[in-house]
Copies of this chain bind each other. A is one copy, B any other.
Amino acid sequence: MTGLSSLTTAQLEALEAELARDFELQRANRVKLDLTRGKPAADQLALSDPMETVLDGSFLAADGTDARNYGGLRGLPEARALGAELLDVDPARVICWGNSSLTLMHLVVDTAMRFGLWGDERRWNRHDRPKLLAPVPGYDRHFSLSASLGVELVNVPMTDHGPDMQAVLNLVRGDGSIKGIWCVPKFSNPTGCVYSDDVVRALAQLPKQAAADDFVVLWDNAYTAHDFDFPGIDLLPIMPEADREQTADHVVSFASTSKITYAGAGIGFVAATEAVLRVLEGRMGYFSIGPDKVNQLRHAKFLAGRLDAHMAQHAALIKPKFEAVEAALREGLAELGVADWTTPRGGYFVSLDTRPGLATEVARLAAAAGLSLTPPGATFPYGKDPDDRNLRIAPTFATLDDVKVAMKILVLCVKLASLRGEISTRKESAAP
């Protein structure tokens, strides 16, 4: 690997001039590309079109419930079983409700804040400034949801195996205002890392070690089934660990079928112990007579016994896009050593770290060349990346050809910004 720093300033300037020309040519192409959207492409959605006719006029659930009528806040048994399969828990610990795990996360955080999750006196809002730990980079909607309910976010570093548990421990041990931690344990958004067994075990112990007696591990297992290769990677299930540690009342898990069937027209799951489910059901009873059980029945019938087979069909469509991202980054950036990136084995994102201070400039250049990137900072609470270096790449929605063109532009922008940064640093340090 040559590396940028081994080049002379003259070499750097020649390379910069060449790349600037490439950039102008690219800009003249007037493309309009987008790597911002973590959403499935139409060919992925079409994999679930047979679901529309799977009921074939029969609306009775396994327990005899007419799915077309009111009631059943916890959802149909077969839908809860599907959630249990996704979340690796007992079906009795699952509520299937709504079309979105985000809505259920909002319910859990709101309930923890105002009403308490355990039917006792504990409420997060009894503390002046309740906080949640945010492993960064992370999922922007976790952050905005929390902040919208008055919960502050505290950054903790993310490693390739999950949150830096020593940093986490240091924070939660001494500070009772820290009420929980957001986790995307498999194919984390955006780095794509999978939490190691050690990290899962450490997280299961965490509620016992936290100063707060109402600490909650928020386990957003959004990509649990979203491997690129099958059989998939095994994430250590957290609930048996938490049962063993007697912390199970302090672990709440989430999943949905949004990126399995239809995004938005799927079904959402929350899993917790009976004590917590009872409290959540109590709250739901004030604003819901029951979820859309017809859609639950569709999903259960469509996916029962063939979840992996279905997800393998998704993988066949999106893995090539991730391979194109990896190839472009490796071929374009590895030699110069100007960026780090992740190579996930599933999920929806690649995380790219530029040299510090350059992410905003890269996004600005990309936009000028017709490529939209997720706004730098979006992967950090309050939109603030302290090092201004993280970019999230979401290649699923674009076509493979568009991903290739987009990545060519992105690589060009990273190189150009890095070269210019290096040149200006050298000039500054050479100045009298």
Contact = CB atoms under 8 A, between A and B. Distances in A.
Contacts of A262: 68-69, 294
A148 B286 contact: yes
Interface stretch (A51-59, A190-198, A404-412): A51-59
A291 B264 CA distance: 6
A294 B99 CA distance: 11
A143 to B, nearest CB: 10
A106 interface: yes
A263 B42 contact: no
A51 to B, nearest CB: 10
A88 to B, nearest CB: 25
A224 interface: no
Contacts of A102: 287-289
Contact of A106 (B70, B103, B287, B290): B287
Q: Which bracket fits the contact residues of A?
A: 35 or more
Given A292-B264, A292-B295, A144 B286 contact: yes
Interface in A236-285: 258, 262-265, 283, 285
A66 interface: yes
A230 to B, nearest CB: 24
A351 B233 CA distance: 60
Contacts of A37: 70
A301 interface: no
Contacts of A291: 99, 264
Interface of A: 37, 39-40, 42, 45, 48-49, 52-53, 55, 57, 59, 66-72, 98-100, 102-103, 105-107, 141, 144-145, 148-149, 258, 262-265, 283, 285-295
Given A264-B293, A292-B295, 6 more contacts: A39-B70, A49-B59, A52-B52, A263-B289, A265-B292, A295-B295
